Structures are given as C-alpha cells and as structure tokens.
Homo-oligomer: A and B are copies of this chain.
Amino acid sequence: MKKALVFGGNSYEHEISIVSAIALKKVIKKELIFIFLDESGEFWLIDDANMKSTYFAKREYRKAKKLFLLKGGFHKKTLFGFESIGKVCVINLVHGGDGEDGRLASMFDFYGVSFVGPRTEVSVLSFNKLYTKALADMCGVKALAYSFVTKKARKLAKPDAYPVIVKPCRLGSSIGVSVVKSEKELDYALDVAFEFDDAVLIEPFVENVREFNVAGARVGSEIVYSNIEEPKKEGYLDFEKKYLDFSRTQEVAAAGVEEQLAAKLKESFAKIYSFGFDGAIIRCDFFVVDNEVYLNEVNPIPGSLANYLFGDFNALLEGVSHSLPTPRRIKVDYKYINEIKSAKGKL
C-alpha cells in the first residue's frame, strides 16, 4: 500500500507541519503521496516537485487537485462524482490542532482509512497537558506537581513559590509558554497563555533539570526505542528554535545515558506507549530529578516523527504501518427491535 503524508491543519503549528513534511520527504525512501490540509479544512493533492515551503506560503496549493475524505479514503472529484485515489496508508503529520487533538484520527477511523498516528483517545489525553497528568497517573509514571487555572478563575492563580512555568493546556511546541521568576511577571505570562487557551497549567520550574527525549513505536509485539537524546537547552527552548528543530533529518548520537537511567526511561516510555499509542510513533519528554523519572509531555506526532533519533527510521515506519490497531467494528443484528416487535406487536 502506498503511504500518504497528511500535513498542515488548522493549527498554530500549521507551518511547522509543512517543514516537518519536507524533512520527511528527504528521509523516507519509498514513494509518497503528499496531502496538504489547508487552514480552512480542505485537502489538496500536492505534486512532489511542489513540496517547498514557499509553495504553501504563497498559497499556490490552491491550483492543486482538491481531495475529499469519504468512506474508504481520499477521493478526487470527477465529472460525475468521486473517484478514490486508491487505498493508502496515511501518515498523520498534522502537528497540533486537527492532527493531535483526535479530529483526523476520528475521521480516519470512521471512514476506514488505515493510518500511522495516535488514535482519538490517546490524542485527547496527550493534547491537553492537564489530561497528560492523569495519563501519567493511570500509567503509573510520575509527573511534576501542578496547578491549573481557567481564564474565568485566573485570580485563583497563586503559585506557592517561584520560578514557575506557565503553559496553555492545549498547545505544543512551546507556544504561549513562559518561565515566571516572580509574582510581578505572572500577570503578563497569564495574558500570553490565555491568548492561546482558556485553561493554563502552572508547574514549578526546576532549574537545571535534566531532560531526556525517548521516541519509539510498537512493531509486532516489541517496542522499538530510539536513541535517547538529552536536548541541549539555552535557557528555555522557544518557538523559533523549536521550529527549526522540526526540519531535522540527521541522526542524533545517543545521549550516553547511564545504563540504569536508560532502562528507567525506556520502562516509563513503555508504560505510556502501551496505554493506547499502538500505531503511532511518539516521543516522550522526561525530566529526571533525584534519579526519578517524571513525564513532562507526550508528543504523539513529534516533529518529522523524530526520525533523527532512530538508526533505521525507514524500517521502523514500515514496521509500524504493519502493526496498526484495527478499530472495533460491530455487527448490528436488530435482535432487540425484532424481539420487542414480536412480543408487543409493532413498535
């Protein structure tokens, strides 16, 4: 089955999704179909030759062929109706809204499209940082303490101690995130965060915390782990820096993590992954404090699928695409209606 990269979306991360797709085009060795989702919710079939960021920025994609998502997959419009572009295995590369909030996953499952990416349930749990705390808890993995405040109740935001980190609940890629060193900086940070979401998470900001990224996916019955990366931080990674991060294609050397810690990180990754991420290549970002592993966040669609962390990304992707969960389909037999009808006459 051919693979189709779906990217774009109505999201603050729309542009980095384009960058991410261009990066993956360089990495993936097999033939790919490119499907762009514009901000208005329309799908476009993009020629290989047009996979350049300016093509999208100049909105030249509007000259491309429009696609429609219908039962069985993507379709082109023909003179008298619709024609399937053929069975494809979608790779969901829509970072942020549409892609990571469960919308596309819901649609793909509904229409019977096979796809690499997080399913609806775990998308919802990992898209909202508040729910990620619950996810960690359900998986038996530690997470940092937090408080949570909504726009309506913002005056209740009263951290016990500073510095804290203020994050909109529903955004990735550090958008709207601030480190707050003292009470007088809090108001501005909340203003910024509430620009992007009505709900905000406040966590203690642990200075010089060690951070580790582990990516992986289930292939058959085994979880394939990536190299463990200890990302270099200059202060706090901001959006522009992360943006460039999404275009990475070069393999990263393993972090040289002590064996025992590496085992702990992998064990935590496995607990989270096994909770329902089958079919997706995800990256978990962990903090390590006093030798204890804490989940910071789950990236269920990491930038360029974290290809740079894997020794053989192409083999991984192929493996995952053959290890996709199948949604439960139910056979309706109208047993109850028939029984009640025969017991009571017409209903």
Contact = CB atoms under 8 A, between A and B. Distances in A.
Interface of A: 10-12, 14-16, 18-19, 22, 39-42, 52-54, 56-57, 68, 70-71, 77, 79-81, 97-98, 101-107, 109-112, 120-121, 124-125, 128, 130-131, 134, 137-138, 148, 240, 243-244, 328-332, 334-338, 340-341, 346-347
B103 A110 contact: yes
Contacts of A137: 134
Interface pairs A-B: 8 shortest CB-CB: A106-B106, A134-B134, A57-B334, A124-B124, A103-B106, A39-B332, A57-B337, A53-B347
A11 B331 CA distance: 8
Contact of A57 (B70, B107, B243, B338): B338
A330 B134 contact: no
Nearest to A247: B347
Contacts of A128: 121
6 contacts: A16-B336, A22-B347, A102-B106, A103-B106, A134-B137, A243-B336
Contact of A341 (B10, B42, B53, B77): B53
Contacts of A11: 330
Contacts of A148: 138
A197 to B, nearest CB: 8
Nearest to A68: B70
B15 A336 contact: yes
Contact of A337 (B12, B53, B110): B53
B138 A110 contact: no
A334 B41 contact: no
Given A330-B10, A337-B56, A102 B120 contact: yes
- Most chain B C-beta atoms within 10 Å of own C-beta, residue among A11, A12, A56, A332: A332
A52 B330 contact: no
Given A10-B330, A41-B71, 11 more contacts: A16-B336, A52-B346, A54-B341, A101-B121, A103-B106, A105-B106, A124-B124, A125-B131, A130-B138, A243-B340, A244-B340
Contacts of A120: 101-103, 106, 120, 124
Contacts of A331: 39
A42 B120 CA distance: 20
Nearest to A18: B337
Nearest to A57: B334
B138 A134 contact: yes
Nearest to A14: B332
Contacts of A22: 347
B111 A15 contact: no
Contacts of A340: 53, 243-244
Contacts of A332: 10, 14-15, 39
